[in-house]
């Protein structure tokens, strides 16, 4: 037994994040930690990793009661953590980030070249699409996640915590992560693994612990339980995991895109999916439509009118919203309350005589909080203080409130729990019924197949296929990987 937690409590100014956190993690085992958004998973892991201090309960490391005051204390006994939200320094390189704060292990004057080459080796061993000299600020969320993993692997000795390591990764990187986890287990390292992709449990989990509302409600061998049981424990009720969307009759054409590599249209009431591997150009497509990286060639038409958004503001004015995959960098103002984040893109609606009416803002944001079940002490809580999945819900609320005709969703369900996913899909369906045109980029093929009316497949920056709703995962993968 490496680590035992018993009755861990943690309160954040009114929010009881953990009431009774229990966990026992052994060497050479993968222990999955499951629970709804805001259940307290990350909080419990941050206590283990020395980032937060517990209010009560006992933490034992190899039988000894311990109090880690800072991450360095946990690291010193051999605990490292892959964080859910990137903690990397954007202005530094990949290699520098892998070594950041670890100078004690190597002496203060670690040679830059040595650092670079050892980082390169680590990246190569794991087949990650990264270069040691790249600046982290230029990386996609998926690439940043891989840097976080390298950072944890480097100097990993006894226990590694993975907090949703695959949330932003595509299929092939996910496979690499599983391989890494299995190798670590083989070496006798203990692994704590948080995920909302429950199918991953079958791949790697030996043990499962379920948290609900800060309480440990289930603990057992993965083999002795079932997926339905786990989901039931998680949400405290039965959940229909298969979302079936009724097909609507599309209305008139809303969006028509004809730019290099991408020609398609979306009608009122349609949800068009976009599939592809990491780097296939899906996010770039969204960014072009949203005016972040305007295209000089071709044309975009909205309800027949030619538009050429050269900035997100122009795109929003033209009737396009982008719900970004990168909620921390572009989706949220982490230092502002939930209330202001939700009204930010539509301030005019809550402003009278040039003054933002806070009471109105409060009413609006509470309505969205209830609708999306955003778990927070109040709408005055800073967005940065929310759990990962709840941050994502705030980004969605912000654009729902803006009420544009066209909505682009880039990986909308990233980090969102099973119950809340169904709510997000229901909202997308509601938007479609209101006559909006929706584009949904997702790496989760089963979700695309459940929600989309048609699926565009991208590869190498181009749309290579347009498949009907009745297509299969195999067919999508075929077009995404090799083409016809």
Ligand X SMILES: Nc1ncnc2c1ncn2[C@@H]1O[C@H](COP(=O)(O)OP(=O)(O)OP(=O)(O)O)[C@@H](O)[C@H]1O
Residues that bind ligand X (CB under 6 A): 12, 15, 17, 35, 37-43, 84, 375-376, 385-390
CB atoms within 10 A of CB 109: 7
Given a contact cutoff of 8 angstroms between Cβ atoms, the answer to whether 398 and 215 are in contact is no
CA–CA gap between residue 50 and residue 45 (Å, rounded): 9
Candidates 38, 50, 337, 388: give the one binding Mg ion (CB under 5 A).
Answer: 388
DSSP three-state, residue 280: coil
**Given the complex with ligand X, which of 46 and 151 has the nearer CB atom?**
46
Partner from Mg ion, ligand X, none contacting 273, C-beta within 5 to 8 A by type: none
Partner from Mg ion, ligand X, none contacting 209, C-beta within 5 to 8 A by type: none
Tokens of residue 285, six digits: 């497509």
User: Scanning the structure block, which residue is given the tokens 């989309």?
Assistant: 452
**Given the complex with Mg ion, which of 11 and 351 has the nearer CB atom?**
11
Quick one: how many helices (H) and strands (E) in the chain?
17, 22
Interface segment toward Mg ion; rule CB under 5 A; list 67-75, 170-178, 197-205, 381-389: 381-389
Tokens of residue 326, six digits: 């990168």
DSSP three-state, residue 394: helix
59-98 residues near Mg ion, rule: CB under 5 A = 84
**Given the complex with ligand X, which of 195 and 404 has the nearer CB atom?**
195
**Given the complex with ligand X, which of 75 and 369 has the nearer CB atom?**
369
Please report how close the Cβ of residue 84 comes to Mg ion at its closest, in angstroms: 5
Please report how close the Cβ of residue 91 comes to Mg ion at its closest, in angstroms: 26
Please report how close the Cβ of residue 356 comes to Mg ion at its closest, in angstroms: 31
Please report how close the Cβ of residue 35 comes to Mg ion at its closest, in angstroms: 9
Partner from ligand X, Mg ion, none contacting 15, C-beta within 5 to 8 A by type: ligand X
- Of 443, 437, 436, nearest to 457 by C-alpha is 443
**Given the complex with Mg ion, which of 196 and 282 has the nearer CB atom?**
196
433 HSE (CA, 13 A, CB side): 9
CB atoms within 10 A of CB 162: 28
φ/ψ (deg, to 5) at 402: -70, -25
**Given the complex with ligand X, which of 120 and 382 has the nearer CB atom?**
382
Verify binding: residue 37, Mg ion, rule CB under 5 A: no
- 304-333 as b/e, with b when 16 or more CB fall inside 10 Å? eeebebeebeebbebbbbbbbbbbbeebbe
Helical axes 388-402 vs 358-372, angle rounded to 10°: 120
> In the complex, which residue's CB is closest to ligand X?
389
Please report how close the Cβ of residue 286 comes to ligand X at its closest, in angstroms: 23
CA–CA gap between residue 179 and residue 173 (Å, rounded): 10
Tokens of residue 390, six digits: 């709840």
**Given the complex with ligand X, which of 287 and 443 has the nearer CB atom?**
443
Partner from ligand X, Mg ion, none contacting 35, C-beta within 5 to 8 A by type: ligand X
**Given the complex with ligand X, which of 17 and 257 has the nearer CB atom?**
17
Please report how close the Cβ of residue 259 comes to ligand X at its closest, in angstroms: 36
Given a contact cutoff of 8 angstroms between Cβ atoms, the answer to whether 351 and 344 are in contact is no
Partner from ligand X, Mg ion, none contacting 376, C-beta within 5 to 8 A by type: ligand X
- Residue 84 Cα to chain centre, angstroms: 8
**Given the complex with ligand X, which of 31 and 459 has the nearer CB atom?**
31
Verify binding: residue 21, Mg ion, rule CB under 5 A: no
Angle at 413 between CA 407 and CA 417, to 5 degrees: 145
Please report how close the Cβ of residue 52 comes to ligand X at its closest, in angstroms: 7
Please report how close the Cβ of residue 209 comes to ligand X at its closest, in angstroms: 12
Please report how close the Cβ of residue 332 comes to ligand X at its closest, in angstroms: 13
Verify binding: residue 42, Mg ion, rule CB under 5 A: yes
Partner from Mg ion, ligand X, none contacting 43, C-beta within 5 to 8 A by type: ligand X
**Given the complex with ligand X, which of 370 and 474 has the nearer CB atom?**
370
CA–CA gap between residue 421 and residue 247 (Å, rounded): 19
SS3 readout for 338-379: HHHHHHHHHHHHHEECCEECHHHHHHHHHHHHHHHCCCCCCC
Please report how close the Cβ of residue 62 comes to ligand X at its closest, in angstroms: 25
Give the residues lining the site for Mg ion (CB under 5 A).
42, 84, 387-388
């Amino acid at each position: 037994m490496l680590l035992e937690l018993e009755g861990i409590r943690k309160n954040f100014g009114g929010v009881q994040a953990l009431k009774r956190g229990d966990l026992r993690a052994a060497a050479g085992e993968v222990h999955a930690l499951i629970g709804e958004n805001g259940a307290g998973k990350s909080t419990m892991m941050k206590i283990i990793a020395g980032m937060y201090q517990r209010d009560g309960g006992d933490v034992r490391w190899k039988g000894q009661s311990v109090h880690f005051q800072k991450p360095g204390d946990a690291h010193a006994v051999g605990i490292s953590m892959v964080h859910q939200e990137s903690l990397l320094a954007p202005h530094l390189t990949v290699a520098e980030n892998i070594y950041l704060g670890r100078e004690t292990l190597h002496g203060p004057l670690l040679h830059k070249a040595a650092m670079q080459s050892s980082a390169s080796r680590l990246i190569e061993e794991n087949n990650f699409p990264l270069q040691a000299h790249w600046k982290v600020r230029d990386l996609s969320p998926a690439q940043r996640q891989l840097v976080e993993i390298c950072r944890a692997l480097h100097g990993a000795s006894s226990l590694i915590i993975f907090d949703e390591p695959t949330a932003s990764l595509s299929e092939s990187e996910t496979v690499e992560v599983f391989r890494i986890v299995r190798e670590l287990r083989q070496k006798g390292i203990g692994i704590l693994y948080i995920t909302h992709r429950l199918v991953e449990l079958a791949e790697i989990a030996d043990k499962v612990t379920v948290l609900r509302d800060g309480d440990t409600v289930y603990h057992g061998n993965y083999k002795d339980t079932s997926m339905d049981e786990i989901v039931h424990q998680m949400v405290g009720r039965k959940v229909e995991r298969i979302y079936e969307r009724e097909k609507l009759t599309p209305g008139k054409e809303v969006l028509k895109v004809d730019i290099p590599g991408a020609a398609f249209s979306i009608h009122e009431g349609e949800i068009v999916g976009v599939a592809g591997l990491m780097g296939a150009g899906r996010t770039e497509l969204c960014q072009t439509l949203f005016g972040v990286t305007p295209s000089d060639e071709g044309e975009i038409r909205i309800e027949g009118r030619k538009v050429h958004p050269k900035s997100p503001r122009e795109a929003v004015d033209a009737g396009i919203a982008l719900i970004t995959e990168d909620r921390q960098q572009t989706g949220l103002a982490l230092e502002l309350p939930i209330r202001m984040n939700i009204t930010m893109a539509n301030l005019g609606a809550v402003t009278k005589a040039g003054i933002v009416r806070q009471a109105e803002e409060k009413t609006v944001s509470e309505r969205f909080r209830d609708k999306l079940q955003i778990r927070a002490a109040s709408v005055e809580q800073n967005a940065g203080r929310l759990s990962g999945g709840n941050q994502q819900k705030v980004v969605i609320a912000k654009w729902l409130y803006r009420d544009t005709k066209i909505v682009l969703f880039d990986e909308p369900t990233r980090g969102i729990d099973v119950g809340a996913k169904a709510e997000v899909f229901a909202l997308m369906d509601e938007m479609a019924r209101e006559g909006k045109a929706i584009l949904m980029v997702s790496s989760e093929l089963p979700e695309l197949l459940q929600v989309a009316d048609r699926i565009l497949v991208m590869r190498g920056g181009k749309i290579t296929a347009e498949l009907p709703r009745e297509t299969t995962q195999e067919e999508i993968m075929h077009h995404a990987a090799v083409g016809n």
